[in-house]
Amino acid sequence: MQRIEFSLMQQTIQRALQKAGLDEGDARTCARIHTESSCDGIASHGLNRVARFVDYVHKGWIDIHAKPELEKSLGAIAIYNGHRGIGITNALFAVEKAAEMAKEYGVGIVALKNSSHWMRGGSYGWHAAQQGMAAICWTNTESCMPAWGGKNTRIGNNPFVMAVPRHKGPIVLDMAMSQYSYGKLQVTRLKNEKLPFPGGYDRDGNLTDDPGPIETSMRILPTGYWKGSGLAIVLDAMAALLSAGSPTNEIDKIGEGSCTGASQIFMVFDPSQLGGAEFTERMADSVADYVNQSEPAENSRDVRYPGQTAAANREQNRRLGIPVDETVWDEVMRLAE
């Protein structure tokens, strides 16, 4: 397995993004987020997304010069128009603005309409938690999953993020409403591996753990079956409602992919104004420790809380280098030439 040192990967991605037209600051920020995602073990939304992002920029589906614009302010909630700008920089702006509001009101909510793919949603949960803030964030997407009982795509996989700050390591949940994201299907296919559990249906309607046929049929399985389907639908409606933005059915009409026109919500809370910093730390430690002390099930070595595996991957890959698919790495290097 080829491993790439963190700074080399970040510098290479930055060059590729500057070649695509991004200014130095935005390219550096996006390269850092992509590299951090791969370093945490989420290559599907890190290095593996770079070439696709560059393609969408060249097609004009993402406006690399656009900046979020305030449309309405209601005290602890603000609505911004992302103008189909860069998803990463739009989302970082939104979570930072929500954190500023939380310091004043205890809670800050930024509803961002008309944005684009935010890449790894967990990045914004980690960003808030590392500042001592708690966060709840989600986005809608173009339709990429059938509603429960349906055959054709009508709902997004609508990633959902929750983050709880903790000095020993934040508790961060980052999950799509599909059993596996399309990025995870791609990564598994590139490794010539099967999914740990069935992830969707092939063209003939057979449940399968083979990622290739699921990518082809686009019949990914909602997490929790009908429950994941229901959550995806409500997250879509709520994101559009709070941002006065587009639901999935309107994003589909744009037809440009990359979540072009997506509605995204960033809710940030200041624990110091709620139970206080000492309570927050003690409570979060108790939750993490209680989970870690579980008796492992058959064929399981340990039991982890959300975010613990990402933190372990980060430590190892910072030390040893970030594992890459060589074909993907070669493609990004060509973009950087």
Nearest to 257 by CA among 267, 266, 248: 248
Phi, psi of 168 (to 5 degrees): -75, -5
List, in sequence order, every residue forming a beta bridge with 10; answer none if it has no partner. Answer: none
Place of tokens 């009409």: 253
Distance in angstroms (rounded) separating the CA atoms of residues 136 and 123:
12
* Length, in residues, of the chain: 337
Cβ(311)–Cβ(169) below 8 Å:
yes
Place of tokens 């560059």: 54
Q: Which two tokens stand for residue 88?
A: 């990463």
Distance in angstroms (rounded) separating the CA atoms of residues 269 and 28:
28
Three-class SS of residue 40?
coil
The residues annotated as belonging to the active site are: 45
Three-class SS of residue 322?
strand
Instruction: Specify the DSSP element, H or E, that contains 316.
Output: helix 308-320
Burial class (CB in 10 A: 0-12, 13-18, 19+), 29: middle
